[in-house]
Structure 1
Amino acid sequence: MKNTALQSRLAEEVLGFIGQRKTLQLATLGEDGVPYASYAPFAVADDRLYVVLSDIAVHGLNLLANPRASVLIIEDEDSAEEYFARVRVNYQVRATQLKTESDAGNMALNHLEKRFGERPRRLSELADFRLFSLAPVQGRYVKGFGRAYTLSGGTLGGENIEHLREGHRPRVPATA
């Protein structure tokens, strides 16, 4: 996408959409390669998503075994105009566990506290909870049918945004 004004507007739109959501869907892989899907409340700072996850809920342990994961942030069903094309952004991410007593961990917890009160910090003090940074590798922003964009460059808004122009095509009937 060469139009930098349009690219900037779309990046702001993506960040605005993320800022309106409070939870994300998280898909992880266990050591045995078995996928696991869950959700978590999140905060945003420095082009990262921050979550506090319990080992009991599996996804925290999965991220320790395999830091590659997928995140989906999606429009609420109740406000969606079209169930088949809900507004959403997904990312392939790389997870890093943060020590809560580190500067980065404290910053992440401060952002989580701004959104959710004191609960994230209290949870992070329990032995079975871990604080993670989820750094985007690449993503996709979907605004509806025919309005999908790839996000690349390692930022939530996308340093590079490309419109997926192929679109949906009619199925060609099989011939006998």
Structure 2
Amino acid sequence: MKNKAMEVRLADELLDFLQTRRTLHLSTLDQDGHPYASYAPFAIGDDCFYVLLSDIAIHGVNLRNDPKAAVLVVQDESESQTIFARVRVNYQVSAEHIPFESGEAYDAGIQALFDKQGERIHNLSKMTDFNLFKLTPLGGRYVKDFGRAYTIAGHSLTGESIEHLSDGHKPRAGASAL
């Protein structure tokens, strides 16, 4: 029971952290399978991320051609006590293009983005080169500090379980302190 209570607390903490961020880092694959890193404003809805990306943007084209991607949401450097242990969560995701013609599904994603990002979303969503993507987590990792890293198992933002990684850093044999 104690572990389940801890998982619920971590899940709530993780969602709170995500709600305080406005952008995510996005890694997509180009047509040759090479990674491409970028960022995008996001919103949360339906236990996933929504992003609105232009066909002019490389990451938008990449997601239309290959749904495999990775997402990183990270604490701002100015908020961190140590640069080596910024709070962060990363996910492997599967991207689904939600066409304008899909009606309610499109409207729900745009509304989530509008609620988080403001009026500009309505203007961009009216442009034919902007596409809505739903990024569904396939699992990930939540890192809060040194020795406080957790595996997120499952296909949601908080997964079906969040488990502490118990195999931590190990000193290098023969290494001397500077």
Structure-2-length-normalised TM-score: 0.93
Where does residue 97 of structure 1 map in the other structure? 97
Report how far residue 114 of structure 1 moved: 0.8
Report how far residue 123 of structure 1 moved: 1.0
Where does residue 70 of structure 2 map in the other structure? 70
SS at 2:116 equivalent: helix
**Structure 2 CA distance, aligned partners of 1:172 and 1:2?**
37
Where does residue 166 of structure 1 map in the other structure? 167
RMSD: 1.5
**Structure 2 CA distance, aligned partners of 1:130 and 1:15?**
25
Where does residue 47 of structure 1 map in the other structure? 47
Q: Work out the number of aligned pairs and report it.
A: 174
1:57 aligned to 2:57?
Answer: yes
Structure 1, 2-11 or 142-151: larger mean CA deviation: 2-11
Per-residue CA deviation, residues 26-64 of structure 1 (Å, 9 max, x unaligned), is 000011112111100000011110000112120011011
Where does residue 142 of structure 2 map in the other structure? 141
**Structure 2 CA distance, aligned partners of 1:147 and 1:158?**
17
**Structure 1 CA distance, aligned partners of 2:35 and 2:15?**
28
Q: How does 1:110-149 map to 2 (within 5 A)?
A: 110-149=111-150
For structure 2, the residue ranges without an aligned partner over 5 or more in a row are none
Report how far residue 3 of structure 1 moved: 1.0
- The share of aligned pairs that are identical, in percent, is 55
Where does residue 31 of structure 1 map in the other structure? 31
For structure 1, the residue ranges without an aligned partner over 5 or more in a row are none
Per-residue CA deviation, residues 96-120 of structure 1 (Å, 9 max, x unaligned), is 0002342111001011111122211
Where does residue 9 of structure 1 map in the other structure? 9
1:19 aligned to 2:25?
Answer: no
Q: How does 1:144-159 map to 2 (within 5 A)?
A: 144-159=145-160
Report how far residue 144 of structure 1 moved: 0.7
Which residue identity does 1:159 align to in structure 2?
Answer: E
Structure 1, 42-51 or 111-120: larger mean CA deviation: 111-120
Report how far residue 173 of structure 1 moved: 4.3
Which residue identity does 2:18 align to in structure 1?
Answer: I
SS at 1:122 equivalent: helix
**Structure 2 CA distance, aligned partners of 1:17 and 1:96?**
24
Which residue identity does 1:91 align to in structure 2?
Answer: Y
Per-residue CA deviation, residues 81-109 of structure 1 (Å, 9 max, x unaligned), is 11001000000000000023421110010
**Structure 2 CA distance, aligned partners of 1:138 and 1:18?**
15
Where does residue 84 of structure 1 map in the other structure? 84
Per-residue CA deviation, residues 115-170 of structure 1 (Å, 9 max, x unaligned), is 12221122122122111000000010000111000001111012111111000001
